[in-house]
Structure 1
């Protein structure tokens, strides 16, 4: 059974400012690069040495994946389907500006997740592309599969893989460089075994 690790990228300056990044290519901050280094040191002890690594092409995810790839000595493939959800006109503006310009849409976003603003990629489209990517890579992998993605696309993609409701936050977001572990069962279904695991947690008795 394939083990799947889904990892969120390290911290960026926009994360610290609570700005939606979406399709905007924002690099890792110095703190994010240090998070990626710690994640790689820990996760390299948990995954198979010949694990398949695949990443969103956005640099914050790709550079996070490269940190693990450097430790394992394996390449990191790119798949555009793993990119972050597009937030349209909300990308790069403050929460206060969102609320001032789109109060009804912000309320809908918090309540149900799909605000209906220009350029916003709805849950169903995100779930479809992320799940399709993961299923395809899992079908090729003969060992562990490690996917590097983003807060929203990772969460929605997992909900799609698990057959959960896409209505809203059935699963919470991953923290920066946190991961979830899923297993592909013989019947073809995915099972969530761990969610939002922090790399700096002390692992005892194989808990991770």
Structure 2
């Protein structure tokens, strides 16, 4: 089966370079336009029988609702698809991160994880993301489309295809971009396309 992993559209915190994590931040007008463009593009690729599942956070839900509306279907919400919690780093500027946690910022840049109060580490993010996607893949008969977030999408896909989590072996999705995976059986996955946007659909994989 095919599984699409989609990141939400742009938010104001994306524009400002702030980590959102579990904070509930709405889409900007540009983010809504991105979600609409992605919905139109995916509606040209997918059937109405596609199952759309989303993170509960509003930026993901609104993106998922745009896609589901274009497909003529409904969204399902799964708490396990929410963004990684960044704890004390949520909503503060990059300069505040640098000055308050210089060693942790360096570790985060190198390994993607940091010892910061409230920061959700790789293993926890991977476990809940993989559990959710595998479970939904078992339940549906057609295509599965998951709407989630930058860090949780990356770590979840690394977990699905067996990539190590000790460094960034897979880049983040852009806003309203998607990846396509093929699942043959539980734990047997291939990443077919990554970071696809409507304007890149004609490019070779």
In the superposition, the TM-score normalised over structure 2's length comes to 0.97
Flag structure 2 segments of 5+ consecutive residues without an equivalent. none
In the other structure, the counterpart of 1:45 is 44
The answer to whether the 8 Å contact 1:84/1:152 transfers is yes
Q: Give the aligned CA root-mean-square deviation in angstroms.
A: 1.2
Deviation at 1:203, TM superposition (A): 2.4
Deviation at 1:114, TM superposition (A): 1.8
In the other structure, the counterpart of 2:83 is 84
The answer to whether the 8 Å contact 2:46/2:71 transfers is no
In the other structure, the counterpart of 2:176 is 177
The answer to whether the 8 Å contact 2:4/2:144 transfers is yes
Question: What's the secondary structure of 2:199's corresponding residue?
Answer: coil
Q: Distance in 2 between matches of 1:202 and 1:172?
A: 18
Q: Where do 1:1-208 residues align within 5 Å?
A: 2-186=1-185, 188-203=187-202
Q: Distance in 2 between matches of 1:51 and 1:125?
A: 28
Question: What's the secondary structure of 2:130's corresponding residue?
Answer: helix
How many residue pairs match? The answer is 205
Question: What do residues 160-179 of structure 1 show as CA deviations (whole Å, max 9, x unaligned)?
Answer: 11111011211000000000
The answer to whether the 8 Å contact 1:7/1:179 transfers is yes
The answer to whether the 8 Å contact 1:44/1:72 transfers is yes
Question: What's the secondary structure of 1:50's corresponding residue?
Answer: coil
Question: What's the secondary structure of 1:104's corresponding residue?
Answer: helix
The answer to whether the 8 Å contact 2:125/2:156 transfers is yes
Flag structure 1 segments of 5+ consecutive residues without an equivalent. none
The answer to whether the 8 Å contact 1:5/1:179 transfers is yes
Q: Distance in 2 between matches of 1:187 and 1:67?
A: 29
The 4+ residue runs of structure 1 with deviation greater than 4 A are: none
The answer to whether the 8 Å contact 1:177/1:199 transfers is no
Q: Distance in 1 between matches of 2:25 and 2:186?
A: 39
Question: What's the secondary structure of 1:203's corresponding residue?
Answer: coil
In the superposition, the TM-score normalised over structure 1's length comes to 0.96
Q: Distance in 2 between matches of 1:155 and 1:98?
A: 22
